[in-house]
Amino acid sequence: MTTQFSSHASKTTASVAVSKHSQIFAAAILGLTIVFAVGLLPMDAVHNAAHDTRHSAAFPCH
CA distance linking residue 50 with residue 53, whole number of Å: 5
pTM: 0.48
Q: Does the structure show a pLDDT above 60 at 1?
A: no
Per-residue model confidence (pLDDT) at position 22: 93
CB atoms within 10 A of CB 47: 11
Domain membership flag for residue 62 = no
Per-residue model confidence (pLDDT) at position 61: 67
Domain membership flag for residue 61 = no
Host domain of residue 35: 2-56
pLDDT digits (tens, 9 = 90+) for 9-54: 566 776 777 789 999 999 999 999 888 877 777 888 777 887 888 8
Cβ-Cβ contacts under 8 Å for 55 (sequence gap 6 or more): 61
Amino acid at 49: A
Domain count, the chain: 1
Domain membership flag for residue 35 = yes
